[in-house]
Amino acid sequence: MDGTADMNAASGRATALNGHVIAWGVLAAAVAMATFAFSDSLARMVGSWSTDEYSHGYFIPLIAVFLLWRNGVTTPGRDTRGAWLGVILVLIALGIGFVGTLGTIYIVVQYAFLLMLMGLALAFLGWRAMKPAWIPMLYLGFMIPLPQFLYQRLSSELQLISSEIGVAIVRLFGISVFLDGNLIDLGAYQLQVAEACSGLRYLFPLLSFGFLVAYLYRGPFFQRAVLLLSTIPITILMNSARIGVIGVMVDRYGIEMAEGVLHFFEGWVIFMTCVAILFFEVWLFALFRRDGNSFLDSLRLWPAPGVQRAAAEVWGNARVSAPFICAFAVIVTLLTATLAAPERVEAALDRQPFATFPDQLADWRGADQVLERPILDALSLSDYVLSDYQNQSTRGPVNFYVAYYESQTSGHAIHSPQSCIPGGGWQIADLSRHNLAGPQDAAPLTVNRTLIAKGQDRQLVYYWFVQRDRLLTSEYAVKWFIFWDALTRNRTDGALVRVATPVFESEDVALADARLESFVAAMLPRLAPHLPEG
């Protein structure tokens, strides 16, 4: 009799174990399908991790898993009951991902993926078991890169701040130095504070590390806030000190001190110093607290007693709840519908190729240029024209460039000059809207007017976007109309039009404006046949 009872009990435990394994297996399948649905944008995110600024991205998922293991759960013995809010989050994430995909706004799709993970976890675990998982899942946001336009603006501001503080440090050593924008003039040598010296390659990983330390720190909220927010001034001051030290070393020992291995070594020294300062803050907070906790005790690295046992109980109590079944069904249905649907083909467009664009525009004579293959591969455009036009009655040439895209989906989208200009080493000195006379009786044309500089060289640039029958200056408006026209017209074609001319050292910028305005007036009537009608 006892043997039969033992066999029944063992059979019940085995059945329960199989049920738990199946439950977690279904959750893993749901996560895998969500990853597949967002794979294009996630691949772009992982690709950004190969850069110095986002190289910490590889560690973020691993640290998040460690935090989940460390936290366990705080409700031992309680069944995991899914929450219906998780289903709503999954639906919202799918909607946001759809909008971001049509609008080619990849950061939106990447955040939608995180929202979907949270929705799935909430639908599976419920509120109580999910409580210790919120911060680890929010921490995953540090692996997503900033939008390029925001990155460039932040980089430019940090370059200027670091240059000014760095020059102040150089002057403390009695060295005569002149600062022109981001150009540090030491007399015999000149140092360009490039984009790589903005400090973002320290700020992003240190900010994520500061968030981690603040979360693990066992102390009042204001101390945690100080730990996190202090990463910003620490990074700026230490990067400025790095620039200042390089300037002093170059003045003393020559330009080779700013190049090669030494530059790389200085970078690592600065970052590790930033980390040391962060830990020094933790030590100071621990020193003045009265609870007797040491430096290591203040950082809660390991699970509290009983947490892992509680986590094991949640593992054992996992069930496939009704909310999770609904969330899983939503993902399966939409993914199946997406795979079964015929490939989306945009409307056929009638236009003349840019190969036929004229070299003669009134008094302007052009000479065609060719983009190099690596640049073409990066731009992924459908057609383009790049030409230098010269007018004998004007002093300088005008560089004319149009990038045309038949479809702005699946990673093929216009690259804004605000992102590309700093990448070429140029700094945006001024950016504003400017009105030009439209062709014939048309309304005035509003363009982005930007004055850019690199060292002593300056250029004046006009650019605007052509989205079907619209001439736009806002990148946000471009993204919106890509999405809207994809839904209403089955079209996402568009173009970037850019004209640029040098501003000579002794030349008034107004003369460069007149040169560009003259060229645009001659070019606009000839551009229309090469861009599809609205």
Q: What is the pLDDT of residues 354-399, one digit of tens each?
A: 999 999 998 999 999 998 887 888 788 889 999 999 998 888 899 9
- Residue 11: inside a domain, yes or no? no
pLDDT of the residue at 101: 79
pLDDT of the residue at 532: 86
Could you tell me if 488 and 367 are in contact, meaning their C-beta atoms sit under 8 angstroms apart? no
**Do residues 388 and 328 share a domain?**
no
- Residue 155 confidence (pLDDT) above 90: no
- % of the chain with per-residue pLDDT over 70: 78
- Residue 429: inside a domain, yes or no? yes
Could you tell me if 202 and 222 are in contact, meaning their C-beta atoms sit under 8 angstroms apart? no
**Do residues 28 and 61 share a domain?**
yes
pLDDT of the residue at 303: 63
Question: Which amino acid appears at position 368 of this protein?
Answer: D
CA-wise closest residue to 112 among 137, 88, 129, 95: 95
Mean pLDDT, residues 335-342 taken together: 70
Could you tell me if 78 and 128 are in contact, meaning their C-beta atoms sit under 8 angstroms apart? yes
Higher pLDDT, 153 or 116: 116
- Residue 228 confidence (pLDDT) above 90: yes
Domain of 120 in residue numbering reads as 18-145+305-340
- Residue 501: inside a domain, yes or no? yes
- Residue 78: inside a domain, yes or no? yes
pLDDT of the residue at 439: 63
Could you tell me if 45 and 141 are in contact, meaning their C-beta atoms sit under 8 angstroms apart? no
Mean pLDDT, residues 235-251 taken together: 83
**Do residues 436 and 488 share a domain?**
yes
- pLDDT tier at 22, thresholds 50, 70, 90: confident
pTM over 0.75: no
**Do residues 126 and 161 share a domain?**
no
Could you tell me if 416 and 366 are in contact, meaning their C-beta atoms sit under 8 angstroms apart? no
**Do residues 172 and 141 share a domain?**
no
**Do residues 385 and 526 share a domain?**
yes
pLDDT of the residue at 92: 93
- pLDDT tier at 263, thresholds 50, 70, 90: low
**Do residues 136 and 165 share a domain?**
no
pLDDT of the residue at 461: 94
- Residue 28 confidence (pLDDT) above 70: yes
**Do residues 169 and 53 share a domain?**
no
491 DSSP 8-state letter:
-
pLDDT of the residue at 211: 94
**Do residues 389 and 318 share a domain?**
no
pLDDT of the residue at 335: 79
**Do residues 388 and 440 share a domain?**
yes
- Residue 40: inside a domain, yes or no? yes
- Write out the DSSP string of 378-412: HH--SEEEEEEEE-TTSSS-EEEEEEEES---TT-
Rama region for 179: left / alpha / beta (φ>0; ψ in -120 to 50; rest): beta
From residue 67, how far is each of 64, 71, 140, 213 by CA, in Å?
A: 5, 6, 11, 12
Mean pLDDT, residues 233-245 taken together: 86
**Do residues 282 and 382 share a domain?**
no
**Do residues 157 and 267 share a domain?**
yes
- pLDDT tier at 15, thresholds 50, 70, 90: very low
Higher pLDDT, 447 or 349: 447
Higher pLDDT, 238 or 487: 238
CA-wise closest residue to 498 among 363, 379, 377, 373: 379
Mean pLDDT, residues 147-165 taken together: 77
Taking only the tens place, the pLDDT of each residue in 31-62 is: 888 888 888 889 889 988 988 889 899 999 99
- Residue 348: inside a domain, yes or no? no
- Residue 13: inside a domain, yes or no? no
**Domain count within the chain:** 3
- Residue 284 confidence (pLDDT) above 70: yes
Taking only the tens place, the pLDDT of each residue in 96-106 is: 888 887 777 78
**C-alpha to C-alpha distance for 40 and 103, rounded to whole angstroms:** 14
